[in-house]
């Protein structure tokens, strides 16, 4: 009887570790990438939400030239394993999700800061996240992020700078 009671108490804790909506998976992505100085990202959460075959594409400008980078989720997450001297905070300011059956796509605008209290972001990115429902959990199949081009601001889509969705 004690075992049954204990297992019933632990079920909610286990259930919370599964992103049961696309919105929850996207929220987990941005919050898990964030970290305080001297700590690393939440790798357990990131490994949970990225599908084992996930691919990440990143676009940015370097010296005025567009550069595209591709990596597997495993390689992408290696960058977040080590604790940094500075913090890294992702603030998702807008999101639109469309879902059909077990497929979802999220378009979001995220501001990134190394100082959580800074009013201005270090940079802004637009993101496309493709998700698939594996069992009862939504996982990231692919992530494409594009860092804002100087002189071409990313529209915040009704969001407000510094006002995070979650």
| pLDDT score at 8 | 37
Q: What is the pLDDT of residues 127-139, one digit of tens each?
A: 999 999 999 999 9
Find the CATH number of the domain harbouring 124.
3.10.450.50
Structural domain for 27, as ranges: 18-147
Number of folded domains that form the chain: 1
In the predicted model, residues of the chain with pLDDT beneath 50 are 1-15
pTM score, whole prediction: 0.87
Each residue of 75-97: b (16+ CB within 10 Å) or e?
A: ebbeebeeeeeebbbbbbbbbeb
Mean of the per-residue pLDDT values of the chain? 90
Backbone torsions φ then ψ of 77, nearest 5 degrees? -70, -25
**Any domain includes 6:** no
Q: What six digits make up the tokens of 21?
A: 């909506």
Q: What six digits make up the tokens of 150?
A: 């100087």
| Element spanning 23, H or E | helix 22-33
């Amino acid at each position: 009887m004690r075992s049954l009671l204990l297992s019933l108490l632990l079920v909610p804790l286990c259930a919370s570790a599964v992103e049961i909506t696309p919105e929850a998976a996207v929220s987990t992505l941005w919050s898990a990438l964030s970290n305080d100085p001297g700590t690393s990202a939440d790798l357990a959460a990131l490994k949970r939400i990225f599908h084992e075959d996930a691919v990440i594409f990143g676009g940015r400008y370097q010296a005025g030239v567009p550069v595209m980078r591709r990596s597997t989720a495993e390689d992408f997450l290696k960058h977040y394993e080590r604790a940094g001297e500075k913090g890294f905070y992702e603030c998702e300011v807008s999101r639109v999700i469309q879902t059909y059956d077990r497929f979802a796509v999220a378009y979001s605008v995220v501001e990134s800061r190394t100082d959580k209290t800074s009013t201005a972001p270090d940079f802004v990115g637009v993101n496309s996240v493709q998700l698939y429902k594996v069992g009862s959990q939504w996982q990231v199949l692919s992530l494409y992020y594009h860092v804002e081009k100087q002189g071409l601001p990313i529209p915040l889509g009704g969001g407000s700078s510094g006002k995070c969705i979650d």
